[in-house]
A and B are shown apart, each in its own frame.
Chain A
Amino acid sequence: MIGMLKSMATTMKHALDGEKFTVQYPEETPDVSPRFRGVHKFSQERCIWCRQCENVCPNDTIQIITDDQRNGEEYNLHIGQCIYCRLCEEVCPVDAILLTQNFEFTGDTKDDLAYNKEQLKNVPWFKDIDPLASREPDRGAWIGEGEGEVDYQ
């Protein structure tokens, strides 16, 4: 009997102390960490069309189309298919593609979520946080060069 009464006392304590763990979204937006991986933002000025992001993407979410002179024509990223692994941002040598903290995006159909470079450029920062500024101290951390010859692939 005592065990059951203890259980009941525990839940009643929670009821009476009135603390809430949940937040009332959307009035209160939660704070996300600076490293949070949200929607991508693409900067055409910085992109050098090296196609590293397209190569590294695990499920072929990025599609790049260039013409014969390797000028970039299209950069498509399907944010519904993306798994938000951040490998594209990691391999990009010029920080042209970044993952913002923005997780508030919607689309009516799945095809709406295939963003082209215009839409990727216009992705808003979440609460105006530019992730580069907050991730700056860590940016150089992942780079590893092979022993001996450097391996350009």
Chain B
Amino acid sequence: MIPAQTQTPLPDIIGDLLGFGTEMGPGETFIASFIGAALVGTLMLTMTALAGPWAKRKITAAFTDRYAVNRIGPAGLLIIVADAVRLLSKELIVPEGVDRPAWDLAPIVIASSALLGFAVIPMGNGIHLADPEAGLVYVFAVASIASVGLVMAGYASNNKFSMLGGLRAVAQNLAYEIPLVLIAASVVLFAGSLQMSEIVAAQAETLVSLGGVAIPSWYVFVNPFAFVLFMVANLMEVGRNPFDIPEAPTEIVAGYQTEYSSAYFVLIYLGEFIHIFLGGAIIATLFLGGPAGPVLPGILWFIIKIWAVFLFTQWARSALPRLRIDQLIEVGWKGMLVLALANLVLTAVIVGVIA
């Protein structure tokens, strides 16, 4: 068995705290990893619970000149509890004719595929669950399991609107995986490694020194074009306006979510937000230097960055109309793919020339 000590930072810390010593056996590794995974999962789910019922409504209200949740609890935060109780106490309606195991498993697939991705994200202060050498590939692979979940939900629901939503989801995800991965590949060219901690470390060097302030070489400064493309592709991947076609409430009611109620609906709803945060985490790691930042501890900077990406998605949602599915596919295959390839080639040339 290969100890691979440097590849599981968080379980190592936990193992230390629990007194397992530096050489942990498989059982002890399992316990430490389990605790670590629970911690990371809880942190992410807390942020999602904050974002879904509370922050999203506050932000939307700010954009539309309204007061929002401000009645229950301090600053309205107890709305999260109220919403949770309300959603979980609803009746779980199982429509006739649904394809049973697939229909039940779909929400779980959607929610858990995003959570799995958080395993390899470096969040600063040693909170980094696992650090395999192919971390970046793992993240993208796991995030796209969600498309399977969407299709399962769409097809198994025995509802024409859901099926339309599922089909659209597949088309959209296929169209945007490739540009997404290509742009990430250009970042990999800069960093020279697929390992997430290496990518973060590569961004710590100083790029320029402006009047005494050292600007680190975050890839957003090095290659802003790729950053913009990646933000757009991320919006498409996650399924937020202007690309929320699979869910398109005003066209196909709720798309693949139509037949879900109560606990399943909570899973899908939160799953969408976890995906947004995962997208934000990937952007933070790839372009924004991960947990790097002055003064505050790394984990706080990391949280600030993924919330910033979340705010950006909400902002785009408030202002931009939705594209039609064929226009979206067109933009994906003709526009984004070409630009991503151009970006990759350009990066390769620059790296080859400079390095």
Physical contact A–B (CB less than 8 Å): yes
Q: Measuring CB to CB, which residues of chain A are less than 8 angstroms from any residue of chain B?
A: 4, 7-8, 10-12, 14-15, 18-22, 24
Interface string of B51-72 (1 = CB under 8 A from A): 0000000010011111100000
CB-based A-B contact count at 8 angstroms: 34
B65 interface neighbour in A7, A8, A12, A19, Cβ under 8 Å: A19
Q: Does B320 contact A (CB under 8 A)?
A: yes
Residues of A within 8 A of B125 (CB): none
Q: Measuring CB to CB, which residues of chain B are less than 8 angstroms from any residue of chain A?
A: 59, 62-67, 315-316, 318-320
Residues of B within 8 A of A15 (CB): 59, 62-63, 315
Residues of B within 8 A of A14 (CB): 62-65
Q: State in angstroms the CA–CA spacing of A119 and B66 once bound together.
A: 37
Residues of A within 8 A of B316 (CB): 8
A7 & B63 in contact (Cβ 8 Å cutoff): no
A7's closest neighbor in chain B, by CB? B319
B67 & A11 in contact (Cβ 8 Å cutoff): no
List 21 interface pairs A-B (beta carbons < 8 Å), by A numbering: A4-B320, A7-B319, A8-B315, A8-B316, A8-B319, A8-B320, A11-B63, A11-B315, A11-B319, A12-B315, A14-B62, A14-B63, A14-B65, A15-B59, A15-B62, A19-B65, A20-B65, A20-B67, A22-B65, A22-B67, A24-B67
B65 & A21 in contact (Cβ 8 Å cutoff): yes
Residues of A within 8 A of B315 (CB): 8, 11-12, 15
Residues of A within 8 A of B65 (CB): 14, 19-22
Least Cβ distance of A26 to chain B in Å? 11
Q: State in angstroms the CA–CA spacing of A83 and B320 once bound together.
A: 40
A24's closest neighbor in chain B, by CB? B67
* 9 tightest A-B CB contacts, nearest first: A7-B319, A15-B62, A11-B319, A8-B319, A21-B65, A11-B318, A15-B63, A22-B66, A11-B63
Secondary structure of the B contact surface, majority rule: helix
Q: State in angstroms the CA–CA spacing of A8 and B319 once bound together.
A: 5
B319 & A10 in contact (Cβ 8 Å cutoff): yes
Q: State in angstroms the CA–CA spacing of A124 and B174 once bound together.
A: 64
Least Cβ distance of B26 to chain A in Å? 52
Least Cβ distance of B244 to chain A in Å? 16
Q: State in angstroms the CA–CA spacing of A4 and B62 once bound together.
A: 19
Q: State in angstroms the CA–CA spacing of A116 and B319 once bound together.
A: 52
Q: State in angstroms the CA–CA spacing of A19 and B63 once bound together.
A: 10
Residues of B within 8 A of A8 (CB): 315-316, 319-320
Q: State in angstroms the CA–CA spacing of A122 and B157 once bound together.
A: 55
Residues of B within 8 A of A22 (CB): 65-67
B312's closest neighbor in chain A, by CB? A8
Q: State in angstroms the CA–CA spacing of A4 and B67 once bound together.
A: 26
* Additional pairs, 12, CB under 8 Å, beyond known A14-B63, A15-B63, A22-B67: A8-B319, A8-B320, A12-B63, A12-B315, A14-B62, A14-B64, A14-B65, A18-B62, A19-B65, A20-B65, A21-B66, A24-B67
Least Cβ distance of A82 to chain B in Å? 31
Residues of B within 8 A of A19 (CB): 65
Q: State in angstroms the CA–CA spacing of A20 and B319 once bound together.
A: 18
Least Cβ distance of A25 to chain B in Å? 10
A3's closest neighbor in chain B, by CB? B320
Q: State in angstroms the CA–CA spacing of A143 and B63 once bound together.
A: 49
Interface centre among A8, A11, A18, A21 (most CB of B within 10 A): A11
Q: State in angstroms the CA–CA spacing of A7 and B321 once bound together.
A: 10
Q: State in angstroms the CA–CA spacing of A10 and B320 once bound together.
A: 11
Residues of A within 8 A of B320 (CB): 4, 7-8
Residues of A within 8 A of B63 (CB): 11-12, 14-15
Q: State in angstroms the CA–CA spacing of A20 and B64 once bound together.
A: 8
B71's closest neighbor in chain A, by CB? A24
Q: State in angstroms the CA–CA spacing of A12 and B62 once bound together.
A: 9
Q: State in angstroms the CA–CA spacing of A85 and B5 once bound together.
A: 80
Least Cβ distance of A22 to chain B in Å? 5
Least Cβ distance of A113 to chain B in Å? 28
Residues of A within 8 A of B64 (CB): 14
Least Cβ distance of A9 to chain B in Å? 8
Q: State in angstroms the CA–CA spacing of A7 and B320 once bound together.
A: 7
Residues of A within 8 A of B62 (CB): 14-15, 18
Q: State in angstroms the CA–CA spacing of A14 and B64 once bound together.
A: 7
